[in-house]
């Protein structure tokens, strides 16, 4: 796991007005907590975005530096939650969870799909059901991403959580029966096939109906001929 670090500063002011002021000055309001203890902090926006490079991941563990002489103890943390303005996309708040040495953590790890599924070359499509997995492990064993190779997937094949092996140090807590990815025939093609079958069945039905009507007409014609013959005999 690549060594990463983030500078944070403790703050005393709270509330919406204080948070707006922080954001205007280039900081992200945040909180650092662990086991019932919490401290309000501010994080330099540029440094935070540089650390995550456009995508915030819960699986990135980093050292925390506060720059205060009274707080030289080694600290590590990861992003437990964050809030983004739905209209502007601005990062509004970040929750950091402080890692305790020797204690397992429970978090989410992003899935990275590798390869091109064989089934897609035959007209199928790769359908992704999960993009991250929940895991439990020691901080030093936490992977930033989980790579899953889909190259051998044919049409009708799928990969489930239980198929993913990460080693004895990492326990996957996501439902083992859950589907991660599968290759299917496009729904449009399936619908077209069903329509063709329906038309064929309908056509067969019309032919059968015409045959029955033809037989009924032939029987009626025979009866008419018999009646005519009887009339002539009289």
For the stretch 132-147, pLDDT in tens is: 999 999 988 999 899 9
- How sure is the predictor about 181, in pLDDT bands with cuts at 50, 70 and 90? very high
- Contact residues for 62 (Cβ-Cβ < 8 A; gap 6+): 4, 5, 6, 51, 76, 77, 78
CB 160 within 8 Å of CB 180 = yes
Rounded CA separation 154/136 (Å): 31
pLDDT of res. 223: 56
Residue 170: φ, ψ to 5°: -120, 125
Single out the residue of 156, 208, 144 nearest to residue 181, CA to CA: 156
Confidence of residue 154 (pLDDT cuts 50, 70, 90): very high
Q: In this predicted structure, what is the pLDDT of residue 227?
A: 54
The string of pLDDT tens digits covering residues 72-120 is 556 889 999 999 999 988 899 999 999 888 889 999 999 999 999 999 9
Q: Would you state the pLDDT for residue 149?
A: 96
Q: What is the DSSP string of 167-207?
A: -TT-EE-S-TT-EEEEEE--HHHHHHHHHHHHHHHHHHHHH
Question: CB–CB of 213/188 below 8 Å?
Answer: no
More confident residue, 196 or 66: 66
pLDDT of residue 189: 46
Whole-number pLDDT of residue 217: 60
43, 27 contact by CB (below 8 A):
yes
**Nearest CA to 84 among 121, 109, 50, 48?**
48
CATH number of this structure's domain 107-185: 2.170.120.20
CATH architecture of structural domain 5-101: Beta Barrel (2.40)
pLDDT tens for each residue of 205-215:
555 555 556 66
Q: Where do runs of H (alpha helix) occur along the chain?
A: 16-24, 45-52, 187-233
- pLDDT tens per residue across span 10-45: 888 888 888 999 999 999 999 998 887 888 999 999
- What is the pLDDT averaged over residues 37-61? 89
């Amino acid at each position: 796991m690549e060594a990463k670090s983030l500078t944070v500063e403790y703050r005393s002011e709270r509330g919406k007005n204080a948070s707006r002021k922080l954001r205007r000055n280039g900081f992200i309001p945040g909180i650092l907590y662990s086991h019932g203890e919490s401290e309000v902090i501010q994080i330099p926006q540029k440094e935070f975005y540089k650390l995550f490079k456009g995508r915030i991941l819960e699986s990135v563990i980093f050292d925390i530096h506060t720059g205060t002489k009274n707080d030289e103890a080694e600290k590590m943390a990861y992003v437990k939650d964050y809030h983004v303005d739905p209209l502007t996309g601005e990062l509004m708040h970040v929750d950091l969870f402080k890692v305790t040495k020797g204690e397992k953590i429970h978090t989410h790890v992003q899935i990275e799909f590798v390869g091109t599924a064989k089934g897609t070359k035959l007209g199928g499509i790769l359908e992704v059901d999960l993009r991250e997995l929940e895991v439990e492990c020691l901080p030093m064993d936490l992977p930033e991403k989980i790579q899953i190779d889909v190259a051998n997937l044919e049409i009708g094949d799928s990969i489930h959580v239980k198929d993913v092996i990460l080693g004895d140090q990492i326990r996957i807590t996501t439902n083992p029966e859950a589907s991660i990815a599968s290759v299917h025939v496009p729904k449009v093609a399936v619908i077209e096939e069903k329509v063709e079958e329906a038309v064929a069945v309908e056509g067969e039905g019309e032919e059968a109906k015409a045959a029955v009507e033809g037989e009924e007409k032939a029987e009626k014609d025979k009866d008419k001929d018999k009646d005519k013959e009887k009339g002539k005999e009289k």
